[in-house]
Structures are given as structure tokens and as C-alpha cells.
Structure 1
């Protein structure tokens, strides 16, 4: 559908002139998450508020009448009441989250819970990292003002006005190793000496040389990072516990968190080769795959097989752009991301649900707003201190 056509339907809806078919189409469009940000941004603040109020009135009327119709889109039945609530969450800018369920069509209404608030609000993560120099000196980057951070063997390290760390190597400089680490609830961006850009997610670390040799460019990753590798004649390698990714110039995301049980490498553009590493860090050439854009390589810590499949790229790089995105994710996978970003513990009480969920949540929201959106998907979630309780 053209953007102009979609915006016309919204305008008709606001004026009360939309047909029943157009209204249902509008709801379904939001439900299937086909509304892209570039379309929604064309609606000004006042129009968003008006649309949100109109939808709220629809919700109230339907709750009063205790109606519970379903609408069918692409052979998927969606509970109308839950769908409108999720739609309202999108309209007011919090996010959208809804339950697919074990059979993808049996969706129950949200449940009411008793919520125990934390004594202090739990804020979202922020730019936060520690840089460890070759001599062991630790620099808390949040405490450093913009400008020169350090100089090592002819390599200058600067912090830009927007908080990015940049390495600048001059001719004749000697390479030494640095490590940058983010805590839970932290993230950071840096530019390596060759111009490669790196986004480091929470609870992650990157070990790298201050300048690269004439033969190769290699870094070591624990956790998750997104790379925009500068083009060059020397191969660029990202090495983790059980794999090595080799490129010349491309954009890709690597998730190597140990608690995820598998390493996932997602290619955005260019091409990369992923190779399994043996316990002695030797490359197993017989276990190697080349990825094309839109593909992901999945490697288990225990197995030697690399599985390659097509994926929705946005799901795996959304964190870099400031939001969580889930496509058929279970509650445990969701809460692992919440745990790392908000620096909280998670406790499950009772049986853990096998239901799957779809949705987007802004990472800039306080955790209470995130949990409120999760509850729209019938997740009983509340806070005790710095612990999130998921109860059944």
C-alpha cells in the first residue's frame, strides 16, 4: 500500500468517515506490525493524539457492550479487545506487544494483577563503558569529557561530543591491545583505527589492537556487537569463543552471549564467512559457511554444525537503533534482553509459559513501562526491588 493511501485512511478515520472495511483494515495493519516508522512519522503530534483518543473511545464502547468479535487477516485470528489495546500502545508511542500463543490463534484477554512497585524507578540503560589500556589502566568513559582520552605508542584516543570513542593511528605507531567493556545496563560506540565502527551492547566486551598489522585486522568479542567494517585489502576477523567471522567490508551483528546457548551472526550487507573454532582456537575449515545479506548463521556451543537461515534483520539489530523487537520469542528470551539492558534479576514463579510473542518496545522507556506493555500480552510481571517476577 502507498503511504499516501494509508494516511488518507487515517484522516477518514479521524473525521468519522471511514467505512467498516477501512476501519478493520486500519486495525489489522497495526496488528500485523506493517506500519513502518517512516509512515507514522508523517503524522504530527496533534494528529497522533487525536487518533489515540478516538481509538480509546472505541475501546470503551466495545468493553461496555462486552463484545468480543475476531477479525481474520492472512488466516490469523486476532482477539479484537486485546488487539485494540495493543494498538493504543503503539499510538501513544510506548510500543506494541501481543501474544501469538501456542497455536497462534488462541489469544486471551489481559489479566489483572497486583503490582508491587519498586522503591526506586528502574531506568533504562545508557552509554556506559570502561576502557582498559595496555598497561592495565582503567578509564571510566562516562567520567571523561570530550577531547583527548589517552595516547599510546603514537595512537590517539578521543571522545567525541556525542560520546563516541575514536582511535587515530599515525604512521610509525606501535600496536598494543585495549579492551572496552560495558556493564549490564550499558552500551557504547567506538571507531577503530581502520575506520571500522562498532556498537557494543550491554554486558559485552571487545578486545582490539590500537592499530592493525599489515596482514590482518582481528578483534575478540564477548557478548553482542554490531560492526560496520571499513573496506580494505586486509581481512577483518571477529573472533569469539567458538567461531571466527571473516570479512573485507560489510555490516553485520554478532550475538555470542553465553546464556543464549547459541551464537547468532546476522548479515545486513556485503558477505561474510563464518568458521567453527575448535577448543584450541584452531579453525575447522570443514565447518564453514558463507552468508548473504538477510541470512543468519546459528552455531551451538556444543555442536559442529552451522545452520544458515533467512531472518528478519530488524529483529537482530533493533537494539542498536534503540528498541527491542521480538518475532515469535518466548518469555525467557525476552527477559534475558530486559535483564541485560535494565541490570535486573529475573525470577520465574510457577510453570514457565511456552507461548510466543511478537512486538516492539522502546529501550528508552523505564522498566515499568516495558512491563506494562508486556502485561497486554497476558504476562503477569511485577517488580520486587531490582528483581522482575514472572508468575504463572
Structure 2
């Protein structure tokens, strides 16, 4: 496998003393991941031991298996430029890559602006976001989005991202919102009265400007109330719960006060507050899929929204947990190759991804 071979080359360079600082950082990132359970630091003897262990277990081309890590997990290392992609899972037999998925490209800056009149404006995919300035709607670089007459009365607009889309918006009060794929943000062209209120379907990251007027985000049966802070809300209708993670400041989720580093899970059973891994929660905003003990369904839900595909399960798989990072700018086939190496079987039919 290419990933295994590149890893071995790095280990050999380390052993020979010819490794560069950049290559050493990549290698140490991998090794720290493997050694985490042992709480061990890198040293020469352990790297040499790892090199011999990997070499001895490197399989023949037609009988490739992910090399084992400790008693249960496996680590797959792929190098893409200077970036390290790792994925851990149970060791399984590797299946051939899915060439039929090669034509399916990752999502990008795709969105529609729906005016109060119902008129829809397809936004420029070469731009990253829009800015609301009174009755003007501008792109982030200052160019006008639409010359439509919006009148003088208060109007509500919607920023809508399809599957495979993302976009940013700066609201009238200066608050910034990053909208993930398959999402919708409803907002006014100006904030009036005692509150600044918007409505969210899907997922968004908010950086709310400080103001004496509370900023309210409504999603499903949940209401998040803040003055000025940064937080992420995932409120997809196909998920079992609404998840709100607080990065900084303070928010109130319904009647529950949330502190930074925690997230609230809202469902029909009430609200549960748990510690949050903010790197995982906000990874999508930073161009990554980041899975931490994620179920297969969690992984597939993210893929089908970003690549605009439909996932069909022909067999139920329970107990699978995935850990790893994959850049969101990779074609679908690259992502599936990684998952295939973890023992997941796929086949493509059009834009349907079948798990079996």
C-alpha cells in the first residue's frame, strides 16, 4: 500500500538520521497517535522497534491487511503533501478501491439567497460569503449580490445551502455565521426590538457580536440565547437530537446555562450537558472531517451531506467506531478508500452509496 510504504520511508529516514524537520513532525504525529495508550514518548529505540514491527507485518500485495495496533486497533497513515491523514479502526481485510466514486467531487461554496418576495438568487461559487448592510446584500469582497428592490419594511430572507454546499454570512449587527451543507438560516434584513433573532435548520457556527440585545437562535424546539459568544449548533432533522457546543462566552439553551467546552444535547427526553471536543465539533468549519469514536451512521451522514449522495445500508453494522481526520476537499473515492481499508464494504450505483 502506498500509505504504508511512505510511512516506512519516513521511519527509515528517521533511523538513518536524514529526516527533515517537516517529515519528523509528520512521523511524530503518527507515532504519538499509536503510542497514546502506552503514554510513551518517541525515542530512538522505540522508533526502530516500530520500524521492524511494521516491516515484519507488511503483507503481500493481494493479501493486504491493516497492521494491528496493540490488541485491537489499527492505524492507517496516508500522506498528502505535508498533511497527515490518519484513521483508526479494527483490523479487517482490505477491499479494492471504489473507482466508480472517482467522479464525485467534494462540496464547495454553493448557496441560494431567497428574498422575502420568494425570488431566489444563486450565489457566486467563487465567493465565500455575503454581507447584509441594510437593504444591500453584498459579497464579502464588496460586489453587489442583487439589485432587487427590497422595500423599506422589515423583511426576512433565507440563506440556503444544498447538499455539497457551504457559505458564510455577516448579519446586520456584524455577527458572522458559517453555514454547513444542507442547511438554512432565516434572518431579517435588520434587527428591531429587544432581540436579535434568527432561525436555523441544519448546522452552523456562530460568532455573535456583543450587544445589549440578546441574540436568539431557534432550531426545532430549542432556543439558544446569548449576548456575544462563539458556538456551534447541529440541528439536522435526520439526527436524533440537536447539539449545541459552546466555544467561548456563555449561552442559555432553553433553561440550561452552558459553559465553554461543554455541549447540550436536546431531544424529546430533555437536555443533557456533556464535555465537548471542540476540535471535532468545529472541524467542518476548518475544512476537515474529524471523527472521534463515531458510529458508521455518523460518518455516513456527514459524507452524504457533503458529497450530495444517498447512503443505503444493505446490512446492519453495530459497534463500529471510527477515529480520524480527512480533509473535506478530497474526492469521494479517496475517502472511501480509507474507509474500505477499515473493513467497510461499498458499491456505487449512480449517486447511491451502498453499504454492505
User: Which category of TM-score, normalised to the shorter sequence, fits these structures?
Assistant: 0.7 to 0.9
In the alignment, what sits opposite 2:265?
298
Report the secondary structure of 2:58's partner residue: helix
Shift of 1:176: 1.3
- Residues 176 and 67 (structure 1), Cα distance of their counterparts in 2 relative to 1, 3 Å cut: closer
Cα offset, 1:199, TM superposition: 0.3
What are structure 1's unaligned runs of at least 5 residues?
1-9, 19-23, 35-54, 100-106, 167-171, 276-287
| Counterpart position of 1:202 | 181
Give, in angstroms, the shift of residue 60 of structure 1: 5.2
Aligned to 1:156: 136
Q: How does 1:1-392 map to 2 (within 5 A)?
A: 14-16=14-16, 28-31=31-34, 59=54, 62-63=57-58, 77=71, 79=73, 82-83=74-75, 86-89=76-79, 93=83, 95-99=85-89, 107-108=90-91, 110-115=92-97, 117-118=99-100, 121-142=103-124, 155-161=135-141, 174-275=153-254, 288-300=255-267, 302-303=268-269, 305-391=270-356
Instruction: Provide the C-alpha distance between the structure 1 equivalents of 2:317 and 2:128, rounded to a whole number of angstroms.
Output: 46
Which has the larger displacement, 57-66 or 241-250?
Answer: 57-66
Structure 1 residue aligned with 2:4: none
SS at match of 2:77: helix
How far did residue 78 of structure 1 move?
5.0
CA offset at residue 94 of structure 1?
6.3
Aligned counterparts of 2:128 and 2:17: Cα–Cα separation in 1? 54
3-state DSSP of counterpart to 1:118: helix
Hey, what's the Cα distance between the residues in 1 that align with 2:164 and 2:34? 30
Judging changes above 3 Å, is the alpha-carbon distance between structure 1 residues 133 and 377 closer, same or farther for their aligned structure 2 residues?
A: same
Q: Distance in 2 between matches of 1:326 and 1:361?
A: 9
TM-score computed with the length of structure 1 as normaliser: 0.72
CA displacement, residues 125-149 of structure 1 (integer Å, 9 cap, x when unaligned): 0111110111221100127989999
Instruction: Please tell me the root mean square deviation across aligned C-alpha atoms, in Å.
Output: 3.7
Describe the shift of the 1:215–1:330 C-alpha distance in structure 2 as closer, same or farther (beyond 3 A).
Answer: same
In structure 2, distance between residues paired with 1:207 and 1:240: 10
From the superposition, tell whether residues 258 and 16 of structure 1 become closer, same or farther in structure 2 (CA, over 3 Å). same
Conserved 8 A contact 2:196-2:214: yes
1:124: Cα distance to partner? 0.4
Query: For 1:387 and 1:212, how far apart are their aligned partners in 2?
Result: 42
CA distance in 2, matches of 1:334, 1:146: 25
Aligned residues: 320
Deviation of 1:221 after TM superposition, in Å, equals 0.5
